[in-house]
Amino acid sequence: MAQIVASNVQKVFKTADREVVALKDIDLEIARGEFVCLLGPSGCGKSTLLNAVAGFSLPTGGVITVDGKPVQGPGPDRGMVFQEYALFPWMTVAENIAFGLQVQKKQKAEIAATVSQLLEMLNLKDFRDRFPKDLSGGMRQRVAIARVLALDSPIMLMDEPFGALDALTRRNLQDELLRLWERLGKTILFVTHSIEESIYLADRIVVMTYRPGTIKRDQRVDIPRPRDPSGHAFNELKRELGRLVMEEQQRHADDEMKLAAVD
Amino acid sequence: MTTKLKALCEGSAVPLLLIVVWEAVARAGWISPIVMPAPSAVVVKWWEALMPAAAYDPTSQSRLAWALSGEMVHDAFASLYRVVVGFLVGAGLALPIGLLMGANKRTYALLNPLVQVLRPIPPIAFIPLSILWFGLGNPPSVFLIALGAFFPVLMNTIAGVRQVDGIYLRAAYNLGVNQWTLFTRVILPAATPYILAGVRIGIGTAFIVVIVSEMIAVNNGLGFRILEAREFMWSDKIIAGMLAIGLLGLAIDTGVSRLNNHLLRWHRGLEH
């Protein structure tokens, strides 16, 4: 049975002088343990959909359920990794990872054990007492992933988590994420605008349209892992998805020109 | 090392020159010592006031008590005590009120008009009322100092709470925090850079107010001592007292700045 179900989801943002339909008629089912990427240009509503699943911003129509229960707000059963890391800068690496567990009032010894294990798992041992300002972007994102893993939530939501990283660090963290996913069996919903990233990572890629955000294509990726980005099947799919995404990107660009002309 | 030495020489050249000229003018007798005593006389007075007046007597007191029995040391402690108590009262009230006003729109709407009316009144203008209300001695002085420290801490605390980046709130909610944890573990620490900037301004104001308040209502403290010296036209003692006030102010600011740097060691771009 599907773990995350979105049925007929709408999201309308109202501003003083206009309405923007960010999401329209979204029907999506994600199975337990599945790795799904939401792919599209900026403005396609992929982050809006993710935030709706996270419970930060509820849909204006339709319903999203997780394990059969409607989403009504944010919660530790759906851990979120943000593009801006969102680590608490006044806490050390270890304190950041421990925070979610302290919130759940876990025993001290249990917290210490989980934190040590995660520091080990994400190669952060030498950084446990550092503050986030002393870490590189890649290291910060490792801490953010560890912080979410500490919650032991079945679902991980990731909002362009590697978007701000350089290409090499990015590949490195993608591999690490895949390793963790295979080992821990989490369900991952991952937002990206990188076609290559989505093909490298996902079981399924959901391509979204530019305003209103609808599902343009629900694409299964059957290339066996580890995937070779220079392989034939990879590039075939890249070309195909590239065509779909660029159509939407073009609509986005046209729209921006129009808005600029009005102003 | 040589560049440091050079900077030191350059930095001290003008003050040294000024002191030499001042000393020469005073010794030549061009200016009455009541108007402007020689710097050497000021330093002598300063040293006299700092040192114990009586000889050490092991039967009546400990060596430490004796070493701190100088008039200026007593006065400095008296002033420092008022600053600390006044500041603790003022900032101790400003912090919770500021947190509440920053976090809660209704509290802000209720209290802000009052704050805006009272804030522009300099604490010094409360001197007559403070004497009517509290009489003489420490209470009016502490009241004025608390008032001087209250508003900078309050305004900065409100601003600090309001500027907390929404991403931290979202991350915290995602980790399942309740309101209390959100407040104590996220909003409060996120606002500390602002709050501590307010604390530093508040301590500075408290120090100004303590000197003024000592000139009106009490009979010890550094502010009282320089006013007393004026009555006897001891200009050298006045300037020695001013020197002591400056040094105490510097010490307080350095202490607060050290504390800030420690509390904000996680913060990007530390300042002094």
CATH number of the domain where residue A73 is located:
3.40.50.300
Phi, psi of A208 (to 5 degrees): -110, 155
Residue of B175, B178, B266 with shortest CB distance to A89: B266
Percentage of chain B exceeding pLDDT 70: 98
- Chain B CB contacts of A87 under 8 Å are 171
Contact A245/A198 with Cβ under 8 angstroms?
no
Q: Tell me if A99 sits within 8 A of A91, measured CB to CB.
A: yes
pLDDT band at B1 (very low <50, low <70, confident <90, very high): low
Question: In the predicted model, what is the mean pLDDT of residues B91-100?
Answer: 96
Q: Using one digit for the tens of pLDDT, what is the confidence trace for B222-237?
A: 999 999 999 999 999 9
* A118 falls within a domain: no
Q: Cβ B175–A76 below 8 Å, yes or no? A: yes
B263 CA: distance to closest CA in chain A (Å): 9
Summarize chain B as % helix, strand, coil (round to 5).
80, 0, 20
Angle, CA of B43, B48 and B54, to the nearest 5°: 170
**Cα separation, A161 vs A170, whole angstroms:** 9
**Mutate which: B169, B175, B178, B270, vs A, most A CBs within 10 A:** B175
Structure tokens at A175: 């591999």
Q: Lowest-pLDDT range, A155-164, B28-37, B203-212, B253-262?
A: B28-37
The answer to whether the CB atoms of B175 and A89 lie below 8 A apart is no
Whether pLDDT at B3 is above 50: yes
**B130 and B73 inside one domain:** yes
Confidence grade of residue B271 (pLDDT, cut at 50, 70, 90):
very low
Residues B17-72: tens digit of each pLDDT? 999 999 999 989 888 888 889 999 999 999 999 988 888 888 888 888 888 888 99
Kindly state whether residue B233 falls inside one of the protein's structural domains: yes
Q: Does residue B158 form part of some domain?
A: yes
Q: Which two tokens stand for residue B59?
A: 């039967």
| Same structural domain, B106 and B214 | yes
Q: Is the dihedral of CA B250, B256, B257, B262 positive or negative?
A: positive
Domain holding A227, by residue range, is: 2-77+153-262
Same domain, residue pair B18 and B149: no
Residues of chain A with a CB closer than 8 angstroms to some CB in chain B:
54, 56, 73-76, 78-80, 82, 84, 86-91, 99-100, 103-104, 131-133, 147, 151
Better-scored residue on pLDDT, B268 or A89: A89
Cβ–Cβ below 8 Å for A99 and B175: yes
- Cα–Cα distance for residue pair B210/B144, rounded to 1 Å: 8
Mutate to test the interface with B, among A103, A131, A159 (most CBs of B within 10 A): A103
> Quick check: is A50 in a domain?
yes
* pLDDT mean over A224-248: 94
CB contact under 8 A, B266 and A90: yes
Question: CB burial class (10 A; 0-12, 13-18, 19+) of residue A109?
Answer: exposed
B95 within domain boundaries: yes
User: Looking at residue A256, what is its pLDDT?
Assistant: 85
Tell me: pLDDT of B268 over 60: yes
For residue A182, being part of any structural domain is answered with: yes
CA torsion through residues B69, B72, B73, B74, sign: positive
Number of domains in chain A: 1
**B92 Cβ under 8 Å from any chain A Cβ:** no
For residue B233, the enclosing domain spans 63-263
Is A148 a member of any domain? Answer: no
| pLDDT for B29 | 87
HEC states along chain A?
CEEEEEEEEEEEEECCCCEEEEEEEEEEEEECCCEEEEECCCCCCHHHHHHHHHCCCCCCEEEEEECCEECCCCCCCEEEECCCCCCCCCCCHHHHHHHHHHHCCCCHHHHHHHHHHHHHHCCCHHHCCCCHHHCCHHHHHHHHHHHHHHCCCCEEEEECCCCCCCHHHHHHHHHHHHHHHHHHCCEEEEEECCHHHHHHHCCEEEEECCCCECEEEEEECCCCCCCCCCCHHHHHHHHHHHHHHHHHHHHHHHHHHHHHHHC
Mean pLDDT of A70-93: 94
In the sheet that holds A19-31, the strands lie side by side as A19-31, A2-14, A61-66, A69-70
The answer on B145 and B88 residing in a single domain is: yes
Query: Within this chain, do residues B18 and B70 fall inside the same structural domain, yes or no?
Result: no
Please give the Cα distance from B49 to B72 (Å, whole number): 5
Four-residue CA torsion sign, B199, B202, B207, B210: negative
ipTM of the complex in this document: 0.90
Residue B60, pLDDT score: 81
On average, the pLDDT of chain B sits at 92
Minimal CA–CA distance to B126: which of B57, B61, B43, B217? B217
Which of chain B's residues have a Cβ under 8 Å away from the Cβ of A79? 174-175
Residues B24 and B104 in one domain: no
pLDDT category of residue B126 using cuts at 50, 70 and 90: very high
| A-to-B residue pairs, Cβ atoms closer than 8 angstroms | 62
- Cβ-Cβ contacts under 8 Å, A147 against chain B: 175
A4 pLDDT higher than 90: yes
Do B135 and B23 have their domain in common?
no
- Residues B235, A8: Cα–Cα separation, whole Å: 86
Q: In sequence order, what are the residues at sequence separation of 6 or more whose Cβ sits closer than 8 angstroms to the Cβ of residue A164?
A: A83, A84, A137
Nearest to A103 among B167, B168, B176 (CB): B176
Q: Which residues contact B17 (CB under 8 A, 6 or more apart)?
A: none
What band does B272 get if pLDDT is binned at 50, 70 and 90? Answer: very low
Amino acid at B213: S
B137: closest CA of chain A, how far (Å):
42
B143 & B224 share domain? yes
CB spacing of A100 vs B176 below 8 angstroms = yes
Q: How confident is residue B133, by pLDDT bands cut at 50, 70 and 90?
A: very high
- Say whether B81 sits in a helix, a strand or coil: helix
Residues B104 and B183 in one domain: yes
CA–CA gap between residue B190 and residue B163 (Å, rounded)? 9
Supply the DSSP string of B199-212, one letter for each residue. HHHHHHHHHHHHHH
Considering the domain boundaries, does residue B51 fall inside one?
no
CA–CA distance, A120 with A93 (Å, rounded to integer): 12
* B170 and chain A in contact, CB less than 8 A: yes
Q: Looking at chain B from residue 96 to 115, which residues have their Cβ under 8 Å from any Cβ of chain A? A: none
Tally of structural domains, chain B? 2
**Using an 8 Å Cβ cutoff, are B76 and B83 in contact?**
no
Q: Which pLDDT score, from 0 to 100, does residue B269 have? A: 60
- Any domain includes A115: no
Of B170, B173, B175, the CB nearest to A151: B175
Query: From the CA of B89, how many Å to the nearest CA of chain A?
Result: 27
Is A76 in contact with B266 (Cβ distance < 8 A)?
no
Tell whether B27 is within 8 A of chain A (Cβ): no
pLDDT bin (cut points 50, 70, 90) of residue A263 is low
| Chain A CB within 8 Å of residue B177 CB | yes
Rounded to the nearest integer, the mean pLDDT of chain A is: 94
B263 touches chain A (CB under 8 A): no
Instruction: Categorise residue A85: left if φ over 0, alpha if ψ from -120 to 50, beta otherwise.
Output: left
Same domain, yes or no, for B181 and B88?
A: yes
What are the pLDDT digits (tens) for A38-67? 999 988 899 999 999 999 999 999 999 999
- Say which residue the tokens 């001013």 belong to: B242
Mutation site, A84, A88, A97, A140, interface B, largest B CB count within 10 A: A88
Give me the pLDDT at residue A211, please.
87
- Residue A4 pairs with which residues in a beta bridge? A30, A66
